[in-house]
Amino acid sequence: MNEKEKMIAGLNYNPSDAELMYDRTHIKTMCQKYNQISPKEYETRKNTLKKMLGKVGEHILIEPNFFCDYGYNIEVGEHFYANHNLVILDCAKVKFGDNVMIGPNCGFYTAGHPIDPADRKAGIEFAKPITVGNNVWFGGNICVMPGVTIGDNTVIGAGSVVTKDITANVVAVGNPCKPVKNL
């Protein structure tokens, strides 16, 4: 199994692998180009995202600046909107359902590093997928950590750090993020 296969399978992998380094350089170059497209050129922006990401719905808008690690591990449903400064570290799959809205300065991080200092020093990483349901709204300045699933119709309040799964039909806030209201 090569390092890319290990990464996608959720196993420990070496991100310094030549293929992974190439993939990251390629998508970061595409992100740089995407971030320079005029807001007036909606179709160009949408078509560029279709080339960058693994799966994209028809109605999608990600405001610049947008950054990701690989692109091919990101799936976005219909009617997706992300405000400025979205970061997706997609070493594992990041899947967004339909009708998802993301406020500014949000990050979705599948990448993790071992607790053992020797493994960290060796440059080993792991990744766990993130899954977001339908009709989910994220306020600004939110971090979603590796392995998290967020259920349908949920609202995540601004400034939250989501470290564990959040069920459907709730408002959740805080650090760590916890449900505070049923919808």
CATH of the domain at 102: 2.160.10.10
Residue 60's closest CA among 83, 44, 77? 77
Specify the pairing of strand 111-112 against strand 126-127.
Answer: antiparallel
Question: What is the tally of structural domains in the chain?
Answer: 1
Q: Which residues of 145-182 are buried (b: 16+ CB within 10 A; e: fewer)?
A: bbbbbbbeebbbbeebebbeebebebebbeeebebeee
Which residue type sits at 60? Answer: I
Residue 130's closest CA among 83, 82, 89, 179? 89
113 is catalytic: yes
Angle at 150 between CA 149 and CA 154, to 5 degrees: 175
What was the pLDDT predicted at 74?
98
pLDDT, mean of each 10-residue run, the chain (183 residues) = 94 95 98 97 95 95 98 98 98 98 98 91 94 98 98 98 98 98 95
What was the pLDDT predicted at 120?
87
**Residues 44, 51: Cα–Cα separation, whole Å:** 11
**Residues 128, 105: Cα–Cα separation, whole Å:** 21
DSSP 123-163: T-BEE--EEE-SS-EE-SS-EE-TT-EE-TT-EE-TT-EE-
The single residue of 26, 59, 84, 113 carrying the catalytic annotation is 113
What was the pLDDT predicted at 119?
87
What was the pLDDT predicted at 178?
98
**Residues 109, 74: Cα–Cα separation, whole Å:** 12
Identify the DSSP state of 161.
E
Range of the domain at 140: 3-182
41, 76, 138, 182 from 133: Cα distances, Å: 29, 11, 12, 16
